[in-house]
Amino acid sequence: MILKNFQIKAINKLIENTRELLNSSTNSNIIFKSPTGSGKTIMVAEFIHRITKDKISNRDICFIWAGPRRTLTDQSKEKLTRYLNKFKDLKCSSFLELQNNEISENEILFLNWESINKKNKSTIVVENEREFFLSKVLEKTKDKRRDIFLIIDESHHHATSEISRKLIDEISPKIAIEVSATPVVSNPDAIVNVKLDDVKLEGLIKKTVILNESFDNLLSKNKITSSLSEGSDKFIIDEAIKKRKLLLSKYKKSKSKVNPLILIQLPDNIRGQQEDKIRIEIQQYLASKHKIKTENGKLAIRLSEDKKNLENIAKNENEVEVLIFKQAIALGWDCPRAQILALFRNWKTLSFSIQTVGRIMRMPEVKKGHYKDDILNHSYIYTNLSDISLREDQAKDYLSIFSSFSNKSIKLISYSRLRQREKTRLSPLFIEIFLKESKKYNLAKKISLLNKKAKLSFIINQTSDSIDNLANKTVKGQKYQVTNDNDLQALFDSFIRNNLSPFFPEDRSVGRLKESIYRFCKIYLKIDYEKDFSKIINLVLNDDNINKFVNLIDISKNKYIEEIKAKDDHFKKNNEWSFPEAINFTGNYTELKTKKSVMNPFYYDYKWKTEENFIKYIDKSKDIKFWFKNGDSDETYFALPYKFKKQINLFYIDFIVVLKNGKIGLFDTKSGSTIDAAKEKSDGLQSYISKNNQKFFGGIVTNTDPENFNGRWIYYNKPSKFLDSTDLKNWKTLDF
């Protein structure tokens, strides 16, 4: 798996905070807040690998991973085992797999949070003659001077309960990391927060979840009322299936094999005969009206007493079209092709949070990211609930309540940036640069080749069976000669990782730096890695040569960074950009009545007074045919390039105004100090206007009365060196 940029940044922040808190004399607590679908488990797995590999603690460390339920804990253990298996320096264990009644160094003990609740009288916590119970295991582990890191998975489910607090006190971890999309712990020692927008931009999760699309929704004081509340349960099913068929056709058109899945979620508070009655009614209707049933493999059931057609259901091409389930059972269950959620009024009331929509947030094909057809980049909820509340968490920024539509078109040249992974990791380009720079640096003639052996400074009397345990521990004058091949390789790995900064030391980057050195040795020194890797490592890490290799690595990294920055000028060009067919809006927007907006109805967030008053001005103009309020990210919206500090960025202007005479105005509203800060953007906009055709005009726009907006609307279309918010003589009156 290739880590995303936001994941690398989050892991680095976790490591940075951990380094700092390890120096504290008291135990510490870190909150790791990361949205559903962001890859929390993988990020924590890589964090565990890094802190053990980089030896950031002066003591041995081990881990306890605590999950809220057995199924989720087992799933996490499976994921971490698969991810960490390639490193061979970490061990994932259940309680019964522990050796010598202790958690060994670099071992991760996976526990079901409920199983260590003393009230349950679990065999894990009950004392026994063999002294194999949790308290004794913890005691023996700490007697070995081993620090415990506690990872609390989905911490919002249990971290604030009295029992959970007591258990944390009993475990007494040196570092506790509470992992959740919606953490509830107060006063942590550190917080690492992954932003929802960063996860969306990487294409890991849907852009939004749309509630009752094409039906009127009203939001008042975080309460949602929908015209769909008058519909029957059968009507909800029909709408969901209609949307599924449309999505399926769009996937096929995109040459994708994804078979979108509908989730019908029963409320957790129904049991027994009531649950059976609702489920039977749903099944009968699905079978009679839509030919969807368990017998033909199109219906799956995931309930405590009834499970059918669940094998391979998460695979994108699986034939199941509808799944009936309950949230309590599905905690931690991942099925990225799930894209539609149906909820019926037997819920009585529902509070939407990011957890509610978590099962339908993921993108089904992570490597592809978001699709060209934007309808596939959203998930959909259909419900006839009459009482829906919206929690004050990320759901308000993610759940789309309103939809706006357009029947207008235009043809403009728009730009979008090509995603660059090279900024945080080394690409094959680095190998090429390293070899070129080695020739300039004349490394082959600078290094000494005779009888070279790697040496590692170490603390005298330190005992260890692995060179890893001696890394970064030095005492002046003491040397240790390395002869064991495994120790040599471990020492070389440590050298490579320590010299990768600012690039993330993930496998591919480590491999590329190694490959650079191996190729140099083969080409210029005639030493073949496959035949004599130990000779290469001894050569590189010997005291006479090591600094020369460090210098060359540093020179090559700087050259690589320069070339990557030059690539920032590369953009994807769309010669036929047009207005989006539909835009979805969250609860932070309200409807603003307009006559000439391209999008209808028009929704607005009322953030900026200048912008709001400009809308009123252009909506009244008799010379304007229609106008479009632009967004500020991704390929959905119009963007043009501009230069800022030798780097090319994208400028999402505020308004596209189409006049009746065919001219097109491009405007960005500013006032006060924001005018002076927009010089580079202004030049970029004027360059775009001049390079394209004569029908374009526009620029930075403001009002001469920035308080009451009773003055003239004026715009700036000259070079930015004359742009001054305090001197409006170079501005032009905007008179359509």
DSSP state of 722: G
User: Which runs of consecutive H residues, i.e. helices, occur in 184-331?
Assistant: 196-201, 233-253, 272-290
Q: Does residue 88 belong to any structural domain of this protein?
A: yes
**Per-residue pLDDT at 326 exceeds 90:** no
Sign of CA dihedral 570, 575, 578, 582: negative
- pLDDT for 552 equals 95
DSSP strand E in 327-465: where? 338-343, 350-352, 378-383, 388-390, 399-405, 412-417, 455-456
Residues 650 and 691 in one domain: yes
Residues 638 and 537 in one domain: no
Residues 240 and 351 in one domain: yes
Residues 31 and 161 in one domain: yes
**Per-residue pLDDT at 598 exceeds 90:** yes
Q: Does residue 511 belong to any structural domain of this protein?
A: yes
First to last CA, the chain: 54
Residues 192 and 310 in one domain: no
Q: Does residue 419 belong to any structural domain of this protein?
A: no
Which pLDDT band, with edges at 50, 70 and 90, does 482 fall under?
Answer: low
Split into its structural domains, the chain has a count of 4
Q: What is the mean pLDDT of residues 39-49?
A: 93
Quote the CA–CA distance of 377 and 209 in Å, as a whole number: 9
Least confident piece of the model among 357-366, 482-491, 674-683, 704-713: 482-491
Residues 185 and 211 in one domain: no
Q: 219: part of which helix (H) or strand (E)?
A: strand 217-220
Q: Does residue 420 belong to any structural domain of this protein?
A: no
Tokens encoding 570: 């590369």
**Per-residue pLDDT at 210 exceeds 90:** yes
**Per-residue pLDDT at 561 exceeds 90:** no
User: What residue has token string 């009834």?
Assistant: 306
Q: Does residue 649 belong to any structural domain of this protein?
A: yes
Least confident piece of the model among 168-172, 509-513, 552-556: 168-172
DSSP one-letter string for 345-378: GGG--EEE-TTTTGGG-B-S-TTT-S-SSGGGGE
- pLDDT for 461 equals 30
Q: Does residue 672 belong to any structural domain of this protein?
A: yes
**Per-residue pLDDT at 337 exceeds 60:** yes
Tokens encoding 250: 């769009």
**Per-residue pLDDT at 156 exceeds 80:** no
Q: What is the mean pLDDT of residues 326-338?
A: 73
- pLDDT for 355 equals 65
Q: Any idea what the CATH number is for the domain that residue 726 is in?
A: 3.40.1350
Asked if residue 373 lies in contact with residue 253, where contact means CB atoms within 8 angstroms, the answer is yes
Residues 470 and 594 in one domain: no
Asked if residue 474 lies in contact with residue 458, where contact means CB atoms within 8 angstroms, the answer is yes
Least confident piece of the model among 114-118, 528-532, 678-682: 114-118
Q: Any idea what the CATH number is for the domain that residue 351 is in?
A: 3.40.50
Q: Does residue 683 belong to any structural domain of this protein?
A: yes
- pLDDT for 327 equals 67
Residues 718 and 585 in one domain: yes
Q: Of 504, 536, 567, which one is at a domain's C-terminal end?
A: 567
Cα-Cα-Cα-Cα dihedral of 590, 596, 600, 602, to 10°?
-10
Q: Of 506, 533, 567, which one is at a domain's C-terminal end?
A: 567
- Residues with Cβ within 8 Å of residue 9, at least 6 apart in sequence: 424
Q: What is the mean pLDDT of residues 258-266?
A: 95
Select from 247, 277, 271, 278 the least CA-distant residue to 260.
247
Select from 402, 394, 399, 392 the least CA-distant residue to 378.
399
Residues 283 and 367 in one domain: yes
Residues 583 and 727 in one domain: yes
Residues 543 and 587 in one domain: no
Could you tell me the residue range of the domain that residue 14 belongs to? 5-199
Least confident piece of the model among 148-157, 302-311, 345-354: 345-354
Residue 444 amino acid letter: A
Asked if residue 592 lies in contact with residue 602, where contact means CB atoms within 8 angstroms, the answer is yes
- pLDDT for 45 equals 94
Asked if residue 581 lies in contact with residue 410, where contact means CB atoms within 8 angstroms, the answer is no
Residues 602 and 583 in one domain: yes
Residue 579 amino acid letter: F
Q: Does residue 271 belong to any structural domain of this protein?
A: yes
For residue range 609-636, what is the model confidence (pLDDT) as tens digits?
999 999 999 999 999 999 999 999 888 9
Global pTM reads: 0.76
Quote the CA–CA distance of 640 and 621 in Å, as a whole number: 26
Quote the CA–CA distance of 693 and 697 in Å, as a whole number: 10
Q: Of 129, 164, 199, which one is at a domain's C-terminal end?
A: 199
